[in-house]
Chain A
Amino acid sequence: MRSLLTPGKLVLRLAAGLAVLAAVCAACAMVGSEHVCLSEALKGPGQAGGVNPDYEILVHIRLPRVALAAVVGAALACSGVVFQALLRNPLADPYILGISSGAGLGAMLAVIAGFNWTFLGRSPVGGFAFAGAMGTVWLVWWLGRLAGRGQMTGLLLAGVVVNAFLSAIILFLTSVARSEIVYSTIFWLMGNMTEGDFRVIWVAAGFVLAGIGVLYLLAGGLNALSFGEDDARSVGIEPARTRLVAFMAASAVTAVAVSLSGLIGFVGLVVPHSVRLVLGSDHRQLLPLSAVAGAAFLVGADTIARVVVAPAQLPVGVITAIVGGPLFLVLLVRSCRGAGGLR
């Protein structure tokens, strides 16, 4: 049996996790299709007139991409943890309630409508994806409530049906839309890590960190809920309220991630389970360490995706599944052997 979680242990593990994350980010920023010389890059943006390619590539191309992958990875892993806890379903991931298809439909509508305007220098695709994601979440929550208060099965089924319905609309639009529109939305649907504006990443990171903070404050409640509603009430947790806030925060965090980078599968499923298998299922530890592990995992996967067939790129979802799947299975087998079965 694992010993109890103490604050000291948590801080230590979190610090170790953050150190690993920093190392992964630094290493991945130095890898790419072009060789970047660090000493050249540190000389700055270059003299008047000329440009310093090493600096431009490192600072304007790679660092934003690494930061974006870290933010998205942390967001997806955390909301995966929360959806698995809320729905009490190990197969749950951030997209299970239809956020993915809602965001995809929003993005596709923005492209099809040919919106060329920009808001604060931004194309409207991300905004539409965010609106689509949040609209879908609201619809699913409302349908789930019709099925009965606190009925997580109703919510799950509503999510699956809405997901299928919106996916059908996406398929319909794909088959009637002009080919170049289809291509650009397919790249978006496969996951697209090309945000280059540090301010956007910073603002998104703020919302994601705040969302993770909200979820962390609910971690005790999520722990209590895993023993059932009655036990939760007996320790002073209001199940309905905890669920609503956790659901909203996890959805918002996912919507931010999806509107930044399109759909990236597997992170929200495999990272929470891996952390759970290694460190146990106390949410006070599971949430922050899943965030760190998710960030490091996606930064690494995205680096592989942009390097392995350079100068072309693979969709990062290919790497998350190919690398994450076997890794997860190894952990699963080892854990089952050690503990004599799944808890």
Chain B
Amino acid sequence: MARWWLLLLFLGVWMGAGLALIDGPAAGVPATGEAEAPLRIVCLAPSVTEIVCALGLADALVGVSQFSDYPPSVMGKARVGSFWQPDIEAVIALRPDLVVALDFPQQRDVAGRLNRVGFRTICVRDEYVKELFEAIEYIGAATARTAQAAALAADMKRKLAQIRGPQAADPRPRVLWVVQREPLRVAGRDTFVNELIELAGGVNAIGPTVQKYPPVGAEQVVGRQVDVIIEPAMGAGDLDGQQRTAEAFWGRYGAVPAVQNKRVYVICGDSVSRLGPRLCEGVSLVARCLGTD
């Protein structure tokens, strides 16, 4: 019996010693939009990299996430892990004075830890067009580029207004936005892709779903009488080859108007798969597919 009490005593002493001796995480620097121009910026997602560069801060950028590839000037920057798994060691080694992350669970976690060890980190949401404009404003405020941010947002809104989009088409073409062919997975209503389609003057062929990118059956594709099928290309190269395989794949759905009228489009995925300053290019690309530009 004595041995069991000894074990309990050990546990008590261990816990007491630990809680008494080890400091909790430091309070950290409050991550707010203080106006002080940072000199060493690290971006943890491709879309924030594009925003930071669009604010004229490409030279201050010292590290970017693995798949940040636009603008071309970021290709030579140090890489700090992927969007889903940022490498916190690599971030710290760059001694950044501002880290810009997205407000996703993994990135929030990393942001919290960076703030605790003294690296100022901000999180922005960038899932919908409205949030994109808020993110531009917030990053502008955090980097002392308020005026540039306002100018960028105004310019983007002006370009968006130039696309005729919704005024051009009546009835609006039904669009199937394919993110994966087998099994078939498409963009649902609660996505920025849906906003892209609507800004370009189309309407999503798939109704409201629980998932953002729901898997759908062949039945729905045929039943919805899809007018236009759009597939963002995988990777930058060989759009023609992908266009051919797409047409061959969709050929089996002869009853779908998009297939009958040869309106299956493989488009360059870059400007339509991330929500950033190139939003307007993405919208006009989609509008060209819909014939509403």
Contacts and interface: CB of A to CB of B under 8 A. Distances in A.
Interface footprint category on B: 35 or more
B32 to A, nearest CB: 19
Contacts of B113: 60-61, 196
Nearest to B78: A311
Given A56-B118, A197-B24, A198-B22, A62 B106 contact: no
A173 B85 CA distance: 23
B85 to A, nearest CB: 5
6 contacts: A33-B87, A199-B18, A210-B10, A311-B79, A311-B82, A312-B87
B80 A206 contact: no
Interface string A139-182: 00000000000000000000000000000000000011111100
Contact of A32 (B11, B24, B85, B89): B89
B249 interface: no
A179 B92 contact: no
Contacts of B90: 33-34, 310-311
Contacts of A311: 66, 79-82, 87, 90
Interface of B: 3-4, 7-8, 10-11, 14-15, 18-19, 22, 24-25, 66, 79-82, 84-85, 87-90, 92-93, 95, 104-106, 109, 113, 116-119, 210-213, 215
Sorted nearest first, the 3 A-B pairs with minimum C-beta distance are A311-B87, A202-B18, A34-B93
A206 B18 contact: yes
A213 interface: yes
Nearest to B119: A51
Q: Which of B14, B79, B104, B116 has the most CB of A within 10 A?
A: B14
A121 B88 CA distance: 20
A57 interface: yes
Contacts of A207: 11
A51 B18 CA distance: 26
Contacts of B213: 179
Nearest to B4: A217
Contacts of A197: 24-25
B81 A183 contact: no
Contacts of A32: 89
Given A53-B92, A178-B212, A206 B11 contact: yes
Interface string A308-333: 00111100000000000000000000
A33 B85 contact: no
Interface string A33-77: 110000000000000000101001100111000000000000000
B81 A203 contact: no
Contacts of A111: 105
A199 B19 contact: yes
Contacts of A336: none
Contacts of A175: 211, 215
Contacts of A123: 109
A226 interface: no
B105 A210 contact: no
A68 to B, nearest CB: 13
Contacts of B8: 210
Nearest to B81: A311
B7 A217 contact: yes
Contact of B211 (A57, A178, A214): A178
A24 interface: no
A96 interface: no
A93 to B, nearest CB: 25
Given A111-B105, A203-B15, A61 B85 contact: no
A89 interface: no
Interface in A175-217: 175-180, 183-184, 187, 194, 196-199, 202-203, 205-207, 209-210, 213-214, 217
Contact of A179 (B10, B85, B89, B212): B212
A275 B63 CA distance: 45
Contact of A210 (B3, B7, B19, B89): B7
Contacts of A210: 7-8, 10-11, 14
